[in-house]
Structure 1
Amino acid sequence: MTPESALREQICLLAKSLFDRGLTGGSTGNISARTPDGGLLVSPTGTSFGRLDPCRLSRFDARRQLIDGDQPTKEMPLHTAFYETRSTAGAVVHLHSCHSVALSMMPDANPDNFLPPLTPYAIMKLGKVKLLPFFLPGDPAMGDAVRGLAGKRTAVMLANHGPVVAGADVEAACNAIEELEDTARLAMLTRGLSPRMLSSEDVQRVVTKFNVEWDT
């Protein structure tokens, strides 16, 4: 199996795992990953994470020209914005996960640091998550908003829509977006219960210990 074939299989396997556990439903969500030659493999438009075909993934060359496969997701501007601003990004995942979307609707959601410091793990895997305003699905302005962050964030939350996470590879991106959803779920479950959160000193210790990118 070639490296690209293995990557195709991995994308579909991880996407199906996300779908099977209810992290994105129907034909929602999209996923992409860099290929060894600098191109991209991208989930096609209108496809389900539960039924992606490795042979039909959209294939882009290093100049971002579609050279094979089906038409890509309409959220390509979102994906390319991460690749253009974060040289370390090897994959990008976007879900419509329920609890993170619910948290984005709360009137007290923090636009600069979306996830409350409930556990160290979201801090370790995501750094600060930027809450972006609502955009129409497929709007290129989402990509412009990501570019406006100048590569300082690995993850954003699209209000009333869903999270987007860039990772070093497709497995890292999937693990991080799952942590985002888990933390949002904890936040919603404990909402109004005055949970004990990590102190600012605790957060700083995590950032220092695990060399987290922590945009201040």
Structure 2
Amino acid sequence: MNRTPREAARELCRAGRRAVDLGLSPGASGNVSVRAGDHTLMSPTGVSLRDLDPDGLSVLGPEGEHVSGPPPSKEYPLHLAMYRRVEGAGSVVHLHSPHATAASCLPAWSASSALPPVTPYLVMRVGQAPLVPYAAPGSERLARNLADLPGSFRAALLANHGSLMAAADPAAALDGAVELEEASRIVVSLRGGGFSVLSAEDVRELTERYGTAWDL
């Protein structure tokens, strides 16, 4: 999507405020970024997503170097790794939302997805979301763990940590994170009991229609 840096900054701040309003970003947790040409605008370290200001974002250069603004969130290597993984991604949202974080502490459903295909909306709007092996927040190792995962995906759960979602713009990335949180809430609620999932045929129909990925 073609957008001016100012437009991108405003979109990012709106998404950050909405994440807080939805209860998905407690305290100063979570971080968001958006691509603007060759640069990446990112939430600064230690700043609540509610308080993001278009004039107060961190600006990273083409190689991820800090070029202006306050210091970026320590998770900038994770965001850069996600941009490299997801073709056409224009924004990345990382949240510590409660149910996605709880689901990230559970064993993965499969090698390709932390969550099972419990609803058509998870398959349609997000697709498979693998579980990224744990590494310390903000570490290069966490970014490498993401980069080393096989397969196609645009969302992930970070083990014992939270969620990660990439999309064309900040609003779409947040919408995906909301869907991931809702699917996580359902999975956590069903934990310990038997439950049904979509069939392989149903999943294939949805991924082909909506352009998401799910390894069967």
Q: Same fold per TM (> 0.5)?
A: yes
The match for 1:168 is: 168
- Cα drift, residue 17 of structure 1: 0.8
Matches for 1:22-37 after TM superposition, within 5 Å:
22-35=23-36, 37=37
CA distance in 2, matches of 1:138, 1:32: 15
- Cα drift, residue 99 of structure 1: 0.6
Q: Is contact 1:85–1:151 with CA below 8 Å preserved after alignment? A: no
CA distance in 2, matches of 1:107, 1:213: 21
The match for 1:136 is: 136
Q: Is contact 1:124–1:212 with CA below 8 Å preserved after alignment? A: yes
User: Percent identity of the aligned residues?
Assistant: 37
- Cα drift, residue 172 of structure 1: 1.5
The match for 1:92 is: 92
TM-score normalised by length of structure 2: 0.91
- Cα drift, residue 107 of structure 1: 4.2
TM-score normalised by length of structure 1: 0.91
Q: In structure 2, list runs of 5 or more residues that go unmatched.
A: none
Task: State which drifts further: 85-94 or 11-20.
Answer: 85-94
CA distance in 2, matches of 1:158, 1:191: 19
Q: 1:112 to 1:79 in 2, by over 3 A?
A: same
Q: 1:63 to 1:137 in 2, by over 3 A?
A: closer
Q: Is contact 1:86–1:151 with CA below 8 Å preserved after alignment? A: no
Q: Is contact 1:113–1:129 with CA below 8 Å preserved after alignment? A: yes
Matches for 1:11-90 after TM superposition, within 5 Å:
11-35=12-36, 37-90=37-90
Q: How far does the alpha carbon of each residue in 1:116-165 deviate from its partner, in whole angstroms, 9 at most, with x for none?
A: 21111111222211102221111111111122136722111111100111
Number of aligned residues: 214
Q: How far does the alpha carbon of each residue in 1:164-214 deviate from its partner, in whole angstroms, 9 at most, with x for none?
A: 111122121111111100100111223334333212221112112223233
CA distance in 1, matches of 2:148, 2:188: 29
Matches for 1:164-203 after TM superposition, within 5 Å:
164-203=164-203
Q: Is contact 1:153–1:215 with CA below 8 Å preserved after alignment? A: no
Q: Is contact 1:12–1:52 with CA below 8 Å preserved after alignment? A: yes
The match for 1:127 is: 127
CA distance in 1, matches of 2:87, 2:107: 34
Q: How far does the alpha carbon of each residue in 1:79-107 deviate from its partner, in whole angstroms, 9 at most, with x for none?
A: 11112233311111100011111122224
Task: State which drifts further: 131-140 or 99-108.
Answer: 99-108
AA of the residue aligned to 1:69: G
CA distance in 2, matches of 1:113, 1:61: 32
AA of the residue aligned to 2:12: I
> 2:165 is paired with a residue of what secondary structure?
strand
> 1:213 is paired with a residue of what secondary structure?
coil
AA of the residue aligned to 1:23: L
Q: In structure 1, list runs of 5 or more residues that go unmatched.
A: none
The match for 1:154 is: 154
CA distance in 1, matches of 2:87, 2:42: 18
Give every structure 1 segment of 4 or more consecutive aligned residues whose post-TM-superposition deviation is greater than 4 Å.
none
CA distance in 1, matches of 2:159, 2:92: 18
> 1:156 is paired with a residue of what secondary structure?
strand
Q: 1:110 to 1:183 in 2, by over 3 A?
A: same
